[in-house]
Amino acid sequence: MLRTILAAILMALPLSALSAPAPDTVLMIVSGEGRDAGKTRPGYEFDEVSQAWLIFKANGLAVEVASPQGGPVEADKYNPEEPFNTQLLTDQDAMGKLANTRRIADLQASDYAAVYVVGGKGAMFDLPRHAPLQALITDAWQRGAVVAAVCHGPAALAPVRLADGTALVAGRKVTGFSNEEEALFGKKWAKEFPWLLEDALRERGGQWSEAPLMMPHVVTDGRLVTGQNPYSTPGVAEAIVRAMGRSPLGTPART
């Protein structure tokens, strides 16, 4: 009899109460599309990995890295002399995880307190069409995790539907790489995109906002955090830390 009552109580609890996300691990999602440092296929932005990684680690968070196919991933061309990139390039743990990313389909949302989607034009191609990523984000959100993305990273959020069928971004404040920025900086690949990011988020009910061209802009709506462009990365990382219930400690990526 007691066993039956306990089972009924567990069935009545929300999913987040049964399995809260791990309190100290951020899952970083990167595109696996990149080839030849972005010359033949666009990939992810290394700056958006390095700056966020340093802030997460400074705040005592563990970081895992995943991509649609798993294994090595290639960034677009970047400046290795930038201090934040130099720091990451000498971090054996970080570089090892980028050289052998986890396959998204193998992951459990319950292992992560936050999911952070890195931008780069490659994110417009493989991330929106990757069903396991959409399922992971949906599960993470419904378990109470923070969901975040920067630059073109919000492309991964556009197709995400919650259990009731509504779009994740519907009615929520969002930003991302704007149409104005795309017109100036996306000429090589934009014609191949499935849609423009700003248009897609607006069409799905996102309450869009943007800053002037290539100025930092971070939007937080509860557990949803989005950043407009690469220069928004440190602010996005700090907003993720806050949304996880912590006060950000230090900002090494800004120095």
**pTM (global) more than 0.95:** no
Report which of residues 208 and 16 the model is more confident about: 208
Per-residue pLDDT of 30-78, as tens digits, reads 999 999 999 999 999 999 999 999 999 999 999 999 999 999 999 999 9
Set out the domains of the chain in order of their start, with CATH numbers: 19-254 (3.40.50.880)
**Statement: residue 143 has pLDDT above 80:** yes
Helix, strand or coil, per DSSP, at residue 140 = helix
List beta partners, residue 150.
227
Cβ(20)–Cβ(244) below 8 Å: no
Per-residue pLDDT of 148-190, as tens digits, reads 999 999 999 999 999 999 999 999 999 999 999 999 998 889 9
Range list of H helices, the chain:
2-12, 15-18, 46-58, 83-89, 92-99, 131-142, 179-185, 197-203, 233-243
Is the alpha carbon torsion for 33, 35, 39, 43 positive or negative? Answer: positive
